[in-house]
Amino acid sequence: MSSQITVNARTVTIEAEPDTPLLWVLREQLGLTGTKYGCGVAACGACTVHLDGMAVRSCTLPVEGVGASQITTIEGLVSPEAKAVQAAWIELDVAQCGYCQTGQIMSAVVLLQDNPAPTDTEIDEAMNGNICRCATYQRIRQAIHAAAGTLKG
């Protein structure tokens, strides 16, 4: 079935059954492979994208549920929060294997949009649904504080 969705500020026509998870449309039809598959049941956060600025799990979001919403993937991040987060991730060398890191960054950007100066507890709560098998949680927390500092100026 043919439909249109808007991804990274571009409206594209896709061919997918209505119940196809957004993740597979992004990866297989649009070539946006920065978004990862981890669990498929909204339990790990690897597939996190933004839907109208909110962090959502694309592995369980049927593409028919997207409608006219704006989808942003890691490839389309341009906000000041996103730039600060990505710079902090590099500076603090956060990634280990890297597999979970797209999801971590997508969630961190939304956190900083909502809360420009989060405490450790607020970071832990906001990032709770993003699992890292390499246990990079300490560096993730430090990088979010660093990004918050950059944004504060």
List interacting residues with ligand FES (CB under 6 A). Answer: 37-40, 42-47, 57, 59, 95-101, 132-134, 136
Q: Please identify, using beta-carbon distances, which residue of 137 and 151 lies nearer to ligand FES.
A: 137
Burial of 87 (0-12, 13-18, 19+ CB in 10 A): middle
How close are the terminal C-alpha atoms of the chain, in Å? 48
Please say which residue, 106 or 112, places its beta carbon nearer to ligand FES: 106
Q: CB nearer to ligand FES: give 16 or 47.
A: 47
Question: How far does CA 38 lie from the centroid of its chain?
Answer: 13
Task: Give the burial class of 94: count Cβ atoms within 10 A of its Cβ; 0-12 exposed, 13-18 middle, 19 or more buried.
Answer: buried
For residue 143, the minimal CB distance to ligand FES (Å) is 12
Closest CB 94 distance from ligand FES, rounded Å: 8
